[in-house]
Structure 1
Amino acid sequence: MLFIKKSTNMANLLKNRVVQQLQHVRCLPRWQQRTTRVTAAEDYAKSTDSITLSEPVSEDKDFNQNTEQSLQKTSAKGEKSTQEPLSTISHLKGIQKKSVEGLSVSFDKDGNVVYTKMGNNDIRISRLMALAKSSNMKEKKKLMLLEGKILIREALQSGCNLQYLLFSRLKEVECLKNFLPCKDVQIYKLPYKEIQSWSDLTMCPGIMGIFQIPDTESYKPIDPLPITVICDNVREPSNLGSILRICSGVGCENLILTKGCVNAWNTKVLRTGSGAHFKLHIVNKTNWSDIIAALPDNYSLFIADNNVERLSGGTDKSIPVLPYYSVNFKMSKHIVLILGGETHGISPESYALAEEKKGIRLNIPLHNDLDSLNTSIALGIIIFEVKRQLSNLHTDNLHYDIRDICTNNL
């Protein structure tokens, strides 16, 4: 009996140890996986043999270059295959994938999309996504990640440089065929669950695009309104994305972000902005000395500030507070509007500039003891009033009477 009891205890102990090890392995992050074989870059370039999808990635100091090289796949057998025209790159209706210095074509001679079929947990995709989603690497490599065909199409129409396109269903790519570049883009087909694991959305759209961040400072808007919006310490991504969208809808000339603001190319900011990034002149992470030097001459300064008793030391008397609808914005040659974040509010540098330029603090009257509104909502209320005045959209000039409309609809 004693022997049987000891055997049972040993079996239970072994079982628990195995379960612990399995849980440990299951929880290992994908980017901690190790390759089983390392191939030098010069050896890889000389190689003419076909590379299977399980081929490990070569490791080198220039990670981006090796990632592009390791994701190439060429096969001489592709010229004879006609059964699976869109299964992998090497089986594309009698055409072998062409590449020049690691950059590939997007379509074959029949106009079909050329792509590589990848499996689950591929370490190359893990490294690529880690590169695109990491904030530090994003600043170094200047990459942005977009999800959904609508946002990807907006970026392509704006001339952004697409480097990688990941999708799970071919119909998602078919909607973008007219906008995709003919070459210099890597296209990969992944299982839906693999893309879903990397998605930041509750409902994964099944398609992602990795672009180079465009140079928004050189963008010149078409026929903009003389309005410059300065975001002062706006650190909430959804707020900044909404601000970008509103400024694009109004037609602002400039949008300036101080150093305290969230990164404009954050995935959540990009998603909330809905393509506004590509239609605005954005100056990012700027010091106040550079902001003051970049502002045009003869501008009028306004601060969206609902906290009437915010200032101390008598400076509140030198910066008047007025309701936003009582200001005649048409008298200004150029309007500079400063917005503060909800957490830190307006910075002392903004108040100092407003006091120096004899600016005005704009107030939105509220009821029910509310202190303030969301930053983006406050901007929408004020800036559309500015647009109404600058565009001469007065109620006296309306072409329709509401009473006549109601009578005609009865």
Structure 2
Amino acid sequence: MTSRGLRSLRPVHVVGVGLHPYRSPSDAAYPALGVHAVRAALADAGLSWPDVQTAYTGTATTVMALSRLMYRHLGVTGIPMVQVENASASGSSAFRQACIDVASGLHDVAIAVGVDKPLHIRFPHPVAGVRDLTGDRVVPFTHFALLANRYLHESKSDVAQLGLVAVKNSRNGALNPFAQRRRALTLDEVLAPPAISGVLTRLQCCPVGEGAAAAIVASDAAIERLGLDQARSVRVLSSTARSETVYPGQDPDAALTRETAEQAFLEAGVVPADLDVVELHDAFTVEELLYLEAMGISPDGEAAHRLAEGEFDIGGRVAVSPSGGLLSMGHPVGPTGVGQICEITRQLRGEAGERQQPDATLGLAHMVGVGEVCVIHILEAP
């Protein structure tokens, strides 16, 4: 069986992006968050709501059927709207569906919106009839603490190098007005108690709050017809999604990321060394190191050492999580993947301000989700 990549269809471009700041939970209603992000994306693109022909909403922790109650504040235009739930990859999956709509020719302008408030965070196993053999002994942070111990042992790295992931990302997040954690941290602060599990301290785990992000994609025909700025239109080279298979003795998230990345690079016609900017799923510090190696951005066992040498800093060989990543920008779940697209787009336009990676022309956004699923997008500068 063969599959066709996005590049085999008509070109898709990101023409507008917008964010509502990520933050701790508040009393604000979710439509206020989402509409704020959509209006920002419309203004960024130079579009009005009636120009948008279809909408996908990524959400995982709020409520069902939230799309209509949010979009009605923008105008009742009768467009198709679909809610997308794919755990942490919900926003990435919504963006992928918007890209597919435009690439296939079904629509010329589509929007992907991520919005969430942490109201209902539950895992599917109890209602799936899957017997839980560990109970509450191996919750997500314990799972990643075990992976951290294994990584430190196999790569001959130390706890301080692991903490440098949070130090780097906090430095980036301090420059991001949309980030939930906006303070640069020292290594001593990152490594200070309390320990959440194993070697993972509180500041090595991402905050889960609320927020929203929006990205508008359009075809070449729409860009010309609507008079949009081609010089700010970022091309989506590939949109790749996979689910796990069987990985004996391997971390399934890293193995799945490796497979998805290989397919994404093949579809985009690029190699890992071509990347200038990467936004990835760093809910826990060790994940950044594991996924950089899985995607081929770092040789196996060397990511911690290369991080310590500054290769992944803004201004380094490749800027990794210049937004601050999940660790500092935050992880409101539904918006996270779309927020990554917003950051990559700004970087490739040269509009990221103090976070700007010089001469950025190629960027990658990566998210995994409980399930296990993985979604990767590769974007190219105008």
Q: Which has the larger radius of gyration?
A: 1
> TM-score, normalised on structure 2?
0.24
**Structure with larger RCO (C-alpha < 8 A, sep 6+):** 2
